[in-house]
Chain A
Amino acid sequence: MITFMNNSDSEEEPCNERTSLMSAESPPVPSYQDGLQASEAGEAQAHRKRRTGSSRSPNNIADGETSDTGVPVRESATSENEEEELTLKYGAKHVIMLFVPVTLCMIVVVATIKSVRFYTEKNGQLIYTPFSEDTPSVGQRLLNSVLNTIIMISVIVVMTVFLVLLYKYRCYKFIHGWLILSSLMLLFLFTYIYLGEVLKTYNVAMDYPTLFLVIWNFGAVGMICIHWKGPLQLQQAYLIMISALMALVFIKYLPEWSAWVILGAISIYDLMAVLCPKGPLRMLVETAQERNEPIFPALIYSSAMMWTVGMAKPDTPARRPSQQTRDAAEDGREDHGSPSHADSQMSETRSPVPTRPITSLDELEEEERGVKLGLGDFIFYSVLVGKAAATASGDWNTTLACFVAILIGLCLTLLLLAVFKKALPALPISITFGLVFYFSTDNLVRPFMDTLASHQLYI
């Protein structure tokens, strides 16, 4: 059996990434003076981070009054009702802001799965899932998949705890290096493989110099965008692309039953790690909040335009008010997942792009609040939909049903986020819906619809 040996940790990293919806208020981080902060952003892919977001700003006046921002949080002035209304008003916008990237990622994954044969061929398994599923009996196969799941989940737990410990003991350089290495591998190696397979499928010839140029540019711009500064949309696009690449790798290398059991187990783990008081991700978020640092922007997809992130350079005090964390503080819905690096860079990129020059605090109340979703969430949603597309007897109905189920789960999670106002795991509800719909659609709806279609009956 050929196993895919990863030469870096990045393979695990994606596994470790966990998304949690964070209720925003990422502590605005004034202390970006050391470059170490920036490194946090990188590693996200593999790490699941759960960030427990603080709840809405009115309740977190203390958070808002960080000295660095220098902007006193005046949330207390707004009544609870107004906050609620603002929440609901922006709620729909946030939901849409998250629907679009999740949909895009899924579309890319499904399109690739349906067209490129490579990702549905079985060419070995990862070392994290050593047990094969080619066993003669059903019981043995089930046992193997459960064992694979246990191994995978424990790897993820270990990596997450390791990351939390590193963060706690301020080993920022190490985290930074790790994140950079993993995103390097994703951006260069996986893109090269992907491009190669796509070109093979469509029988397009490309010479090596062109290939080198394309991949070099793609990778270099990606590294800069994700770990440093870049236009928001480009960064979002890169995050979506790397999530899709990671999801494709999972779809290819995870055996079937193991994939489903892993999806289920991951959502349970997600639930526990975010909500239990001793969960690693919750501790991560709380530590970050205590230190008033944004959490690993590199692992988070953020959709906000004007949410405040700590200023990376303190020498722009004029812009500070406009980027206050008030937004972050008021952010009711943050799902964290994207690389934390983005945070530091985001503030940089935000500053030169004020859509409205905001100078007073009061105006900040109306700023757009962003939502943050962890990249791990993207990856696992796409894995579910991709597996549905790959293995559901060539049926598009199943894929569509899973897609709708995941989006509805995301909506519900965001609703809960608005209600509870703290970081929430984004995986459980969506994955549960997705799994339920996948199995039921594949087994129950498909024969029904096929029979209806063959008689051309309409319901």
Chain B
Amino acid sequence: AFFWLVSLLLSSLIWFIAVKASDSRDVPLQKGLLIFGVMFSVLLQETFRFLYYKLLRKAIEGLVALSEDGCSPISIQQMAYVAGVGFGLMSGAFSMINLLADALGPGTVGIHGDSQLYFLTSAFMTMVLIFLHTFWGILFFHGCEHRRWWEITAVVVMHLAVSGSTFCNPLYVGSLVPSYILMAVAAAWAYLLSGGSAQNLRRFLLCK
């Protein structure tokens, strides 16, 4: 969570500087800067995820060295999951919490002609992002562990795609549907990587 926060800080710094340095009345330019800010932020987040992976790796090596039987009490997969959840929670919290605070007060959604589904779609979008961050965490760490660069690039590309799809808002079909599809793909992938299989799933569902 802290790492995500730092990445957010750095990316907003860049955006802020860019905005201050540019002409604030030029609307397309501002929009362009915003898009640039978003993409840059996504890249920074993934960079920080990588840095966090490096840090956890060192920590695991330390734990292994100190433990009696040569294995660390917490595995890298668990750490990947926790890292993903941390990123997701922080990103979700930052996206939603002001919305929730405003939702407690009086007001009408979309009174100025914006979409009336604003709160609902924000909630769904945030939820899908939190899940995605969790799955990306697992995929990313797995890719780093086994040196599969294509997994890492896949995660980055997915993140960019999801963020990019939100540019279609308020045309929610363009953003929510692809995001959910990507989430299902990432979920299945992460599940398989973590050792699950169709058999396990069937057994779980049938309570065997």
Contact = CB atoms under 8 A, between A and B. Distances in A.
Interface of A: 81, 84-85, 88-89, 394-397, 400-401, 404-405, 408, 437, 440-441, 443-445, 447-449, 451-453, 455-459
B2 A457 contact: no
A113 B154 CA distance: 45
B175 to A, nearest CB: 8
B38 A444 contact: no
A452 B169 CA distance: 11
Contacts of A457: 34, 38, 163, 166-167, 169
B51 interface: no
B129 A400 contact: no
Contact of A397 (B97, B163, B170): B97
Contacts of A452: 34, 38
A449 B9 contact: no
A456 B125 CA distance: 10
Given A88-B66, A457-B34, A457-B167, A445 B98 contact: no
B101 A396 contact: yes
The list of the 8 closest CB pairs from A to B, nearest first, reads A448-B12, A456-B169, A396-B97, A445-B12, A459-B41, A458-B166, A444-B12, A408-B2
Interface string B79-116: 00000000000110111011101000000000000000
B67 interface: yes
Given A395-B98, A437-B5, A456-B170, A447 B16 contact: yes
A84 B68 CA distance: 11
A391 to B, nearest CB: 16
Interface centre among B8, B97, B162 (most CB of A within 10 A): B8
A444 B68 contact: no
B183 interface: no
B42 interface: yes
Contacts of B101: 394, 396
Contacts of B91: 459
7 contacts: A394-B101, A396-B98, A437-B5, A444-B12, A456-B122, A458-B125, A458-B166
A283 B28 CA distance: 64
Contact of B68 (A85, A440, A441): A85
A395 B100 CA distance: 11
A394 B166 CA distance: 26
Nearest to A456: B169
Given A397-B97, A400-B93, A458-B95, 8 more contacts: A440-B9, A445-B9, A452-B38, A453-B98, A456-B166, A456-B170, A457-B169, A459-B8
Contacts of B131: none
Contact of B34 (A88, A89, A445, A451): A451
Contacts of B134: none
Contacts of A445: 8-9, 12
Contact of B15 (A395, A408, A448): A448
A448 B98 contact: no
Contacts of A396: 97-98, 101
Contact of B162 (A400, A449, A458): A458
A404 B166 contact: no
Contacts of B19: 447
A404 B2 contact: yes
Contacts of B166: 456-458
Nearest to A441: B9
Contacts of A84: 66
A394 B97 CA distance: 12
Contacts of A394: 101
B118 interface: yes
A215 B118 CA distance: 46
Given A84-B66, A437-B5, A444-B9, A456 B15 contact: no
Interface in B22-49: 34, 37-38, 41-42, 45
A448 B37 contact: yes
A61 B170 CA distance: 68
A404 B5 contact: yes
A92 to B, nearest CB: 9
Contacts of B66: 81, 84-85, 88
A437 B6 CA distance: 9
B195 interface: no
B94 A449 contact: yes
Nearest to A448: B12
A395, A444, A457 — most chain B CB neighbours (10 Å):
A457
Contacts of A397: 94, 97-98
Given A437-B5, A452-B34, A453-B95, A404 B90 contact: yes
A441 to B, nearest CB: 7
A43 B120 CA distance: 52
Interface string B50-87: 00000000000001001110000100000000000000
B27 to A, nearest CB: 12
A56 to B, nearest CB: 15
Contacts of A437: 5, 9
A443 B13 CA distance: 9
A401 B169 CA distance: 27
Contacts of B93: 400
A352 B123 CA distance: 50
Contacts of A400: 93-94, 97
Contacts of B122: 456
Contact of B13 (A404, A408, A440, A455): A440
A275 to B, nearest CB: 25
A440 B169 CA distance: 28
Nearest to A449: B94
Given A396-B98, A404-B2, A444-B9, A455 B169 contact: yes
A459 B38 contact: yes
B45 A456 contact: no
Contacts of B94: 397, 400, 449
